[in-house]
Structure 1
Amino acid sequence: MTFREHRPAPRGINLAAQAAARWMTGFGWSTRGSTAGLRVFGNVLDDEDFTIARVWHTARRVDRRSERWGVAVVLVVEGTLSVRSDGFHAILSEGQGLVHRTSSALSVESEQPHGTVEVLLGNDYLDRYWNDVPERPVVLGTDLASSRVLLATTMSTLSSTVKPGETTGSRSGPRSRTWSTPCSSRRGLSSGRRLRPTRLGWSVGPCR
């Protein structure tokens, strides 16, 4: 079963138990343990080499390793995550993020339900817009303007597919203050510039 078979309708994702686990596996996150209490909310815009998503779920641990993508940018919008990858370990809280190669195994653990915004880029997209992607994950701090712009643009784009109040504002779903913004264009994610991840964030240069 593929991710495209579970592409969410414009009204967003709202799945439980095995259906939630199947969707997450198709998206690239494999879950561990019982799926009885698993819930997943959010929405996704998917292209061949470019996917943006906001996902809120209750899994205690998820693992990712995928050859489909080149790089994933994960921004935490709710909760605290413990992230590990081949000797790398970081604790990420709300407002922080991570850039990592999806070909390297990554595990994420959290004691509480959490929400993330994710940008997944294929290798063709990387060739046009990114330089020197590091082999090890790079942590993005809360003070990075580039992360805030990326988060705002992604949330705005995804919000254009969801009506106000959907999958928000309840105990079983993400908080409305975090998950709703005005509508804008996906083009703002690249803006004709190349991004270069560094230890302190991203440096930006013109496209070739």
Structure 2
Amino acid sequence: MRVAIAGAGAVGRSIAGELLENGHEVLLIDKTPSAISVERVPQAEWLLADACEITSLDEAALERCHVVIAATGDDKVNLVVSLLGKTEYGVPRVVARVNNPKNEWLFNESWGVDVAVSTPRLMSALVEEAVSVGDLVRLLRFSQGDANLVELTLPPEAALAGTRVGEVVWPEDTALVTIIRGNRVLAPDPEDALEAGDELLFVAAPAREEQLEELLSVRAPEDSV
């Protein structure tokens, strides 16, 4: 898979390193000469150019990329790169970094963004996830399809503890993705019984999050099983 990363700062270089280790081709683009540190990620391709310019993206052959990652420290730049990548070059997957949480509402399909990653929101979500039991925590927002990755740790007194996955009537537009139980990661099976302490990860429509949290709460709705 070929990936172009706009922004060769610490974030962009770290992403590039991970992708290269997984066997992908990576092109790092930055307009600041001091950011072009080939020795730090020698396996990547490097391009000194402004990723907001069509001529630069032509030189980068963006049409050959499977993924574009807008990882600069400027939200305006990330939005422009995302929009150009999607509309001008038809890149299948566009991931954008959100630096200011106040701008998060802009990072959607209208600007060509498939997945928006807000570092401040993600850090706060991880803190909540570590200390919250029985509360729904939003981990990631998917712009495409209007869905979120959410997590809930089943409390000991949850009414659904002991209920088989296949017996639960989950809210519409909600999918149980995985169950983390201790050191194990389980693919949900209809015959698996939920246990107190299970960390449940869902992809859910925002409008269904309240229903999901109510379903998994201590007081189970009458139609939950």
**Would you say same fold, with TM above 0.5?**
no
TM-score with structure 1 length normalisation? 0.25
Relative contact order: is structure 1 or structure 2 higher (C-alpha 8 Å, sep ≥ 6)? 1
* Largest Rg, 1 or 2: 2
Q: Which has the higher helix share?
A: 2
TM-score with structure 2 length normalisation? 0.23
Q: Which has the higher strand share?
A: 1
